[in-house]
Amino acid sequence: MAALRLQFQFSGNLLQSSSKRCSLSSKRSVCRLGAVELEDCALKVAQFDGGKPVEESLTAPSSWYWSSSLASLEMECIFGRGWHAAGYVEQLENPRQFFTGSLGRVRYVVCRDEQGQLHAFHNVCRHHAAPVASGSGCTPSFSCPYHGWTYGLDGNLLKATRITGIKNFNPRESGLVPIQVAAWGPFVLINLDAQANQELVAVEWLGSSSDLLVAAGIDRSLRHVARRDYVIDCNWKVYCDNYLDGGYHVPFAHPGLAKGLDLASYKTVLYETVSIQSCRSKNTGEERLGERATYAFVYPNFMINRYGPWMDTNLVLPIAPNKCQVVFDYYLEPQFCQDKEFIASSLEESDQVQREDVTLCQSVQQGLESLSYDAGRYAPKVEEAMHHFHCRLHNDLLLGIKRAKIPSGM
């Protein structure tokens, strides 16, 4: 009966309960590094000079790619702040649809409620911390599989089982902890900062590049057709570096892909948080590549590739200092969605390129962990996007160290 009374008693009061729960979400991310680890991070970050131009700069030091303390700092000051790609709008086309994911130690669930409103929450039951949802699908509510506590799609606690006799318990303050969520184009984004402004998502996520990306055909007209996951034995930044070398490695590592690209036309343009590489295709008549390919890297870990009738995205998620997961989502212009043979052959060609990159990245990680390598040099005419990435990392890591050294409450 207690559970039944609760179910009707606190199904309302959304504004009050949500604001209380936001106070939990708005707490500053607490750095979990001790003083010794933090000092070690400071020494490693100082090994890179973010003020030098690409022509004079050494690459990021090898320690950035295997240090466990630096990996912990990254989760706080890089992945714990700003907008991050979480999924795609098509996953939430209809009310009651949801999907789950994780970003470091943050587990989240994103959903669309009955009124069509987007929500995101920490996927953690307020009772004993079990996840309340898994995978993706359609549901009227989230019910914890551990003890049956049930939450509405607005995050409010609807039912708490077997709590007769509990004292000092306010159900309105026991809903799921919210996360800021927004959509841009075909993508769903989350931000762990409760003060983030959803209206500024385009500016904060893409800077001044958003109009150019729209002009390149990155929009909601495309339909999602496939997802592929790759777990790679390398630091997440190794995969990003590989993407950002301006096509430098393509003729050596991807002979099949190189045949279809006019690599002499390769160019890179840098924006605040985005670097865009583009390249014309050779006149081979290959429908998959089209006339021109656009490769956009959105700091810190999201890639958008638009070519021919295709768009694919690569989301790079850290797992450990020497391991990451790369999630590939493939989208296609609607008129091609029924051509199963074209889709299958295109996905196979893409998978071949990814397998070649996996081999490269894993071998580079081994070299970075060797005793003989500390830092290299940039090829200035082609690797400016990589340098741009490293400078952004350097700046954010410095800010993270500075914030961690400020006493709590200051």
Per-position DSSP letters for 63-88, written without gaps between them = GGGT-HHHHHHHHHHTTTSSEEEEEE
Cα gap 316→147, rounded to integer Å = 34
- Containing 397, the helix (H) or strand (E) segment is helix 384-405
Question: Which tokens sit at 124?
Answer: 């953690």
- The answer for residues whose C-beta is within 8 angstroms of residue 262's C-beta and 6 or more apart is 279, 280, 281, 282
Note whether 241 and 368 are same-domain residues. Answer: yes
Note whether 274 and 331 are same-domain residues. Answer: yes
Cα gap 349→259, rounded to integer Å = 13
- Mean confidence (pLDDT) of the chain: 91
Q: Looking at residue 25, what is its pLDDT?
A: 54
Measured CA angle at 345 (ends 339, 349), to 5 deg:
140
Count of domains for the chain: 2
Phi and psi based region of residue 401 (left: phi greater than 0; alpha: psi -120 to 50; beta: remaining): alpha
Note whether 140 and 232 are same-domain residues. Answer: no
Proportion of the chain above pLDDT 90, given as a percent: 83
Highest mean pLDDT among 32-41, 193-202, 293-302: 293-302
Answer yes or no: is 58 within a domain.
Answer: no
Cα gap 302→304, rounded to integer Å = 7
pLDDT tens sequence across 175-207: 999 999 999 999 999 999 989 999 999 999 999
Cα gap 168→170, rounded to integer Å = 7
Q: Looking at residue 14, what is its pLDDT?
A: 39
Answer yes or no: is 335 within a domain.
Answer: yes
More confident residue, 276 or 26: 276
Lowest mean pLDDT segment, chosen from 60-64, 82-86, 257-261, 326-330: 257-261
**Which of 160, 277, 260, 258 is closest to 212 using CA atoms?**
277
Task: Indicate if the pLDDT at residue 3 is higher than 80.
Answer: no
More confident residue, 294 or 31: 294
Residue 250: count of CB within 10 angstroms of its CB: 18
Range of the domain at 301: 204-389
**Which of 31, 267, 47, 4 is closest to 160 using CA atoms?**
4
**Where does the pLDDT of residue 16 fall: very low under 50, low under 70, confident under 90, or very high at 90 and above?**
very low
Question: Which tokens sit at 33?
Answer: 């590094």
Task: Indicate if the pLDDT at residue 17 is higher than 80.
Answer: no
**Where does the pLDDT of residue 4 fall: very low under 50, low under 70, confident under 90, or very high at 90 and above?**
very low
Cα gap 203→299, rounded to integer Å = 13
Note whether 146 and 120 are same-domain residues. Answer: yes
Q: Looking at residue 20, what is its pLDDT?
A: 54
Task: Indicate if the pLDDT at residue 239 is higher than 70.
Answer: yes
CATH of the domain at 377: 3.90.380.10
Proportion of the chain above pLDDT 70, given as a percent: 90
Q: Tell whether pTM > 0.75.
A: yes
Please answer whether residues 186 and 220 qualify as being in contact, where contact means their C-beta atoms are separated by less than 8 angstroms.
Answer: yes
Task: Indicate if the pLDDT at residue 30 is higher than 90.
Answer: no
Answer yes or no: is 32 within a domain.
Answer: no
Q: Tell me which residue has tokens 């630096």.
A: 70
**Where does the pLDDT of residue 243 fall: very low under 50, low under 70, confident under 90, or very high at 90 and above?**
very high
Note whether 106 and 221 are same-domain residues. Answer: no
Cα gap 116→95, rounded to integer Å = 6
